[in-house]
Chain A
Amino acid sequence: MSEKRIATRNSYGETLAELAPEYPDLVVLDADLAGATMTKMFKAACPERFIDCGIAECNMLGIAAGLAASGKKVFASSFAMFAAGRAFEIIRNSIGYPHLPVKICATHAGISVGEDGASHQCCEDIALMRTIPGMTILNPSDDVEARSAIRAIVDFDGPVYVRLGRLAVPVINEGPDYHFELGKGIELRKGKDVTILATGMMVAEALEAASCLEKEGIDARIINIHTIKPIDREIIRKAAEETGLLVTVEEHSVIGGFGSAVADVCAEECPVRIVKIGMNDEFGCSGPALELLKKYGLSAEHIVKAVREAVAKKRLFTES
């Protein structure tokens, strides 16, 4: 892991700007947040195909639907709270139902929004988007993955929700072996005692936790799930079968989100104990992002503690 930290919203903005000349049908929409979602980079590169819809997210997603129905490659951005939250029903009826290829790239997801507080900290978007038939959901873990994800969906024929963050996060996928494939989880570390399945910015925390756990004699497998829907059932089944204990980590509510998606698969394929780490049915609050992540247990330190306890229980059960 390098020391470099980059917010995935930056990776998104830069990638859009790179794609502008390659794709003459690419149109980018925003709702008065271009400076924050980083679509301003596309605007600078290609002002004639950047459309500011003003503070009207519902209309923006309806516009996106109309553009997509007319053959445009559309990216629409706002904060996760207002895209997935406020405009849910427009996404469901005008984009999801006709299965239009609108790419909804929502930034400022999760509590790492920080000081703006609970009104802007969306911890429900994955749960909401999962319920829409045919919706693909991506949650890239770092700069490298975010760039790969955006490039992978430009020509994708269907609606996609991409979850992006405000906070600069460690770059963890710089190695030459990194390969992004829609719908495929990535095993980042082999392990036999427990599998930590993480998504988005929590993958870096999971990796850090694994190093600490190793020193305690706990061999944790780490899996990065960047595609939450359709989820990689095989990698989850295999992990459940081979390690017998799963821990999921997400910067999202434990209700209906990534952990629930893993639990759905696990319950059907290979039932084992699952510990879900995430926002525990509560609203966030104002504060510096890194402190908030600690406060709500979304840190390597907390993952270590949760895994340690879960593995101890597992060992006790196995021995008895």
Chain B
Amino acid sequence: MDEAKKLELQKRACKVRMGILEGVHAAKSGHPGGSLSAADTITYLYFSELKVDPENPKWEERDRFVLSKGHCAPALYAALAERGFFPVEELLSLRHIGAMLQGHPDMKKTPGIDMSTGSLGQGISAACGMALAAKLSKQPYRVYAMLGDGELEEGMVWEAAMFAAHYQLDNLIIVVDNNNLQIDGTLAEVCSPEPVTDKFEAFGWNVVSINGHDFDAIDAAFQQAKAVSGKPSVIVQKTVKGKGVSFMEDNVAWHGSAPNDAQYEQAMQELKAVLNELEGK
């Protein structure tokens, strides 16, 4: 990836992180930790990978993105707003009564959302259905989905994993956001789905392992995945929960709680400093 593109993505990702904080702070609830760990890849998807049109969110030939770990909606909303699907100010209404930005993604309310999710394990199945629909209709669009690593504890994920391999859904690329933390602790402390890569390999998938905060690696992973035919791909990305906000990083306490005013100010200052540096100010 050229340096200019990478720099642009880094700036966008920083703005997406700020959008996550703004939304969750305004909502006084939500899931900042996993949203921040997923932010770089979601930014990459919306600014480098997905064929989408903010002016025509239901465009039939668009690529689809399903956020199977639906609780990380703040990251998706921030990316959609940054990409122009709706005004950035909308982020401040997150989780408010009457808002189009629901606690978990709602395809009926929010432009750019391809599938309503929130109940873990279900998004990957819907993504398989979308990929199958493209195959049946001989349409060239691809389907992308992102799952949490804790989400892999849902049995339905593995039903879908079997299905996607059996039907050779090579137009499906899923990302596992492997931040190693879930509500009750680390994966190892709860009920570990590891080794994740071995499991997907055994299920017949093309597996790529990367650092999910490195745009060169993210880009290389998606290009590799798209070149594979005959099987679905999974990108298992090592990430840091809470990435980008010092006191949230790798701290499970920030899975599902919002920062207070002082914490919010500190977080935004940290992100602004990063953005200023990227912008050469």
Chain A interface (Cβ < 8 Å from any Cβ of B) = 27, 48-49, 51, 53-54, 56, 58-59, 61-72, 89-90, 93-94, 97-99
Contact = CB atoms under 8 A, between A and B. Distances in A.
A62 B162 contact: no
B133 A72 contact: yes
Given A59-B159, A70-B130, 11 more contacts: A54-B166, A58-B125, A62-B128, A63-B126, A63-B129, A65-B125, A66-B115, A66-B127, A70-B133, A97-B106, A98-B108
Closest 9 CB pairs of A and B: A66-B129, A62-B125, A70-B133, A59-B159, A56-B159, A66-B126, A63-B129, A66-B130, A98-B116
Contacts of A69: 107, 114-115, 126, 129-130
B129 A64 contact: yes
A93 B118 contact: yes
* Residue among B108, B115, B128, B129 facing the most chain A CB atoms (10 A cut-off): B129
Nearest to B115: A69
Interface in B154-172: 155-156, 159-160, 162-163, 166-167
B133 A53 contact: no
Contacts of A63: 125-126, 128-129, 132, 160, 163
A304 B253 CA distance: 64
Contact of A70 (B119, B121, B122, B134): B134
A48 B138 CA distance: 12
21 contacts: A51-B132, A54-B159, A58-B121, A58-B125, A63-B126, A63-B160, A67-B129, A67-B130, A67-B132, A69-B107, A69-B126, A69-B129, A70-B133, A70-B134, A71-B60, A71-B133, A72-B133, A90-B125, A90-B156, A93-B122, A94-B126
A54 B126 contact: no
A56 B157 CA distance: 11
A27 B130 contact: no
Contacts of B114: 69
B202 interface: no
B136 interface: yes
B118 A65 contact: no
A319 to B, nearest CB: 56
Nearest to B124: A62
A98 B115 contact: yes
B133 A66 contact: yes
Contacts of A72: 133, 136
Interface string B188-205: 000000000000000000
Contacts of B116: 93-94, 97-98
Contacts of B160: 59, 62-63
A94 B108 CA distance: 12
Nearest to A29: B129
